[in-house]
Amino acid sequence: MGFSGAVSAVISGGVIQRSYLSNATSRGLPSGVDPACSGVLAFKDSDVLGSRLRLRSSRSLAKKHSSPFQVVCADCPRPELENTVNFLEAAALSASFRTSPSPARPLEVVIAGAGLAGLSTAKYLADAGHKPILLEARDVLGGKVAAWKDNDGDWYETGLHIFFGAYPNMQNLFGELGINDRLQWKEHSMIFAMPNKPGEFSRFDFPEALPAPLNGIWAILRNNEMLNWPEKVQFAIGLLPAMVGGQSYIEAQDGLTVAEWMRRQGVPDRVNDEVFIAMSKALNFINPDELSMQCILIALNRFLQEKHGSKMAFLDGNPPERLCMPIVDHIQSLGGQVQLNSRIQKIELNSDKTVKHFTLSNGSIIRGDVYVFATQVDILKLLLPQEWKEISYFKRLEKLVGVPVINVHIWFDRKLKNTYDHLLFSRSPILSVYADMSVTCKEYYDPNRSVLELVFAPAEEWISRSDSEIIDATMRELAKLFPDEIAADQSKAKIVKYHVVKTPRSVYKTVPNCEPCRPLQRSPIEGFYLAGDYTKQKYLASMEGAVLSGKLCAQAILQDYELLVARKLRNLQTEATVASVMDAKNIK
């Protein structure tokens, strides 16, 4: 795909000063633009006009960012980058860290948890000239994207992870780290198994030639195997208020489950059964009778508004090495620290309820100027100091509870044929999505045997059962998906080995009325911040949400810089006074 046109915007002092539309400058930056502080976005020729209009209409987003920054949307051969305000905003936010004036007194920021949110917080703070100290409890990076190598050298993961076109902050991060080529983009389709026709699949194919939302509408209209015409029409009518009401309508649906919303809108049950059970399980590992409708509407909005929103990519290998390590290298190259096996056991407080220090499980004490908790919400709740528990900001966290999920890997003795180089929606009552990783992922590629990675959900009833029970149940479902190749008793394909990874508390369970309980990254405790996919950000509990939450957390710390430096100086003064009093009294 060639890009010969470029759109550039110079944003300074929080306002877009100039925007450029020029073929002549497409290979270079327009004059007056500092290359060191350019965020990168790509625009196709055909989209340039639309992009320019969007740039104009996006002035308001520039005002959100306090520090002056520039964004250059230059030539870039990345079809996955979409010309939307979301991408511009993501690039702008990234650029604001790199271009913020270097701090006279860099802050030492202690961050608990090296999942994507903690890594992102540390990365962007380091970009802004501060000193993150990232502490991870386990001996592996990545949290919910963690993975391990078994004795044969094969990797197994916490979860089968898909990167969507509608992940602007994630794609920006890949770009900033220079690892774009590690995203393996698949054809723009969604592929569902057909439970009533074992071994068959039904596809939603998004045509490249059409812009959003027409490509999505086309994909839905062209599929006649899952929904018939009257069902499609009734669903479209049900969705009309969302189309007209926009964001405020979407937010107002947080009080309803998907199933309740469908009934209220007169959408036939079959639409729920055919499409939304699979979608609910893929989004939050639960069924539509539990999931908040807001979650579905946010996903639909992103998938339908952005041309490549629902386009999917697999990482080309294991996430700790292929994604997390480059972030760590970046942090360390800027003077930050990352320590594994460093579990925070206690948050110790000063008399004014601010954080005095973190105590690790090995007894060591870690002090900083600022403290961030980027652990799962369930861990934060366990470690909350008694003195904070009645503060409403923390009290509201009670409603946020991690949902159980299980990730299953099965290595077979042969190459299975009834599969695609793509993510597949199993539409099984106990399985969600799956993929043959020996086909979809470069590092796991194997020409002779298949490696199925499957998300087992809902997992509430299964989480405490044995691995062999889980594998037996999985095999019974796989026999329906591969009727010619797999039998539950292994009389067809044989299992060479398997791994079962249970996560009893994964992403927060997005039941109705959770949204008001999601905390902002800035807490009411001076010098204490939160990051994590469960914190307030406009994406769901996802990798994109985790990365964005880290950026927002770093942004809040930068905004509070003066206050935090004043606090640091006060603390230094107090320590000096205590030391001199002790000296005077000759106390050791």
Ligand X SMILES: Cc1cc2nc3c(=O)[nH]c(=O)nc-3n(C[C@H](O)[C@H](O)[C@H](O)COP(=O)(O)OP(=O)(O)OC[C@H]3O[C@@H](n4cnc5c(N)ncnc54)[C@H](O)[C@@H]3O)c2cc1C
Q: Is 145 in the site for ligand X (CB under 6 A)?
A: yes
When asked if residue 533 is in the footprint of ligand X (CB under 6 A), the reply is yes
| Sheet of 189-193, strand order | 201-205, 189-193, 424-425, 431-436, 451-456, 405-412, 495-503
Residues 6 or more apart whose Cβ sits within 8 Å of residue 503: 144, 158, 159, 402, 404, 405, 406, 407
Q: Which of 47, 89, 127, 136 binds ligand X (CB under 6 A)?
A: 136
The interface mask with ligand X, positions 367-386, x = CB under 6 A, is: -------xxx--x-------
Candidates 138-146, 256-264, 287-295, 326-334 — which segment interacts with ligand X by CB under 6 A? Answer: 138-146
For residue 507, state whether it binds ligand X (rule: CB under 6 A): yes
Residues near ligand X (CB under 6 A), total: 39
Compose the 158-177 pattern: x for residues touching ligand X by CB under 6 A, - for all others.
xxxxx---------------
Residue closer to ligand X, measured from CB, 293 or 541: 541
Is residue 328 close enough to count as binding ligand X by CB under 6 A? Answer: no
Cβ atoms of 74 and 10 closer than 8 Å: no
Task: Looking at residues 340 to 359 of the shown chain, list those that interact with ligand X (rule: CB under 6 A).
Answer: 343-344
List 355's β-bridge partners, or say none. Answer: 349
**185 close to 195: Cβ distance less than 8 angstroms:** no
CB 171 within 8 A of CB 80: yes
What is the smallest separation between the CB atom of 118 and ligand X, expressed in angstroms?
6
585 burial level (CB within 10 Å; 0-12, 13-18, 19+): exposed
> Smallest gap, in angstroms, from Cβ of residue 164 to ligand X?
7
Tokens of 53: 């209009």
Least spacing, CB of residue 69 vs ligand X, in Å: 25
Cβ 545 to ligand X shortest distance, Å: 6
Helix, strand or coil for residue 108? strand
Is residue 512 close enough to count as binding ligand X by CB under 6 A?
no
| CB closer to ligand X, 144 vs 308 | 144
Nearest by Cα to 18 from 62, 50, 67: 62
In whole angstroms, the minimum distance from the beta carbon of 167 to ligand X comes to 7
- Token pair, residue 364, equals 């060591």
Cα gap 558→132, rounded to integer Å: 13
Q: Is 137 annotated as a binding residue?
A: yes
How many C-alpha atoms does 208 have within 13 Å on its Cβ side? Answer: 7
Q: If binding is defined by CB under 6 A, does position 486 make contact with ligand X?
A: no
Report if residue 288 touches ligand X, rule: CB under 6 A: no
Structure tokens at 191: 């592929």
The sign of the torsion formed by the CA atoms of 433, 438, 441, 443 equals positive
Greatest Cα pair distance, the chain, in angstroms, is 88
Task: State the minimum distance, in angstroms, from the CB of residue 376 to ligand X.
Answer: 4
Q: Contact between 132 and ligand X (CB under 6 A)?
A: no
Residue 537 engages ligand X in binding (rule: CB under 6 A): no
Does 407 interact with ligand X (rule: CB under 6 A)? yes
d(CA 463, CA 484): 30
Among 72, 88, 114, 259, binds ligand X (CB under 6 A): 114
In the set 543, 553, 557, 558, which binds ligand X (CB under 6 A)? 543
Based on the shown chain and the rule CB under 6 A, indicate whether residue 121 belongs to the binding site for ligand X: no
Does 542 interact with ligand X (rule: CB under 6 A)?
A: yes
Please state the three-class secondary structure of 307-357 as a single string: CCCCCEEEECCCHHHHHHHHHHHHHHHCCCEEECCCCEEEEEECCCCCEEE
Nearer to ligand X, 346 or 494 (CB): 346
Among 503, 510, 521, 537, binds ligand X (CB under 6 A): 503
CB of 403 to ligand X, least distance (A): 9
Nearest distance, CB of residue 389 and ligand X, angstroms: 17
Looking at residue 12, the DSSP 8-state letter turns out to be: E
Which of 43/434 has CB closer to ligand X? 434
Nearest to 140, CA basis, from 121, 123, 126, 156: 156
Instruction: Give the interface segment with ligand X, choosing from 14-22, 75-83, 154-162, 520-528 (CB under 6 A).
Output: 154-162
* H or E stretch at 110: strand 108-112
Q: Taking CB under 6 A as the rule, does residue 115 contact ligand X? A: yes
Distance CA(150)–CA(144), nearest Å, equals 18
Rule CB under 6 A: is residue 298 a binding residue for ligand X?
Answer: no
* Separation CA 470–CA 501 (nearest Å): 11
Q: How far apart are CA 329 and CA 387, in angstroms?
A: 37
Q: Tell me which stretch binds ligand X (CB under 6 A): 2-10, 296-304, 544-552, 574-582.
A: 544-552
**Which segment (142-150, 224-232, 287-295, 576-584) binds ligand X by CB under 6 A?**
142-150
> Site residues (CB under 6 A) for ligand X?
112-118, 135-138, 143-145, 158-162, 343-344, 374-376, 379, 405, 407, 455, 503, 506-507, 532-533, 541-546
| Binding residue positions | 136-137
Binding residues for FAD: 136-137
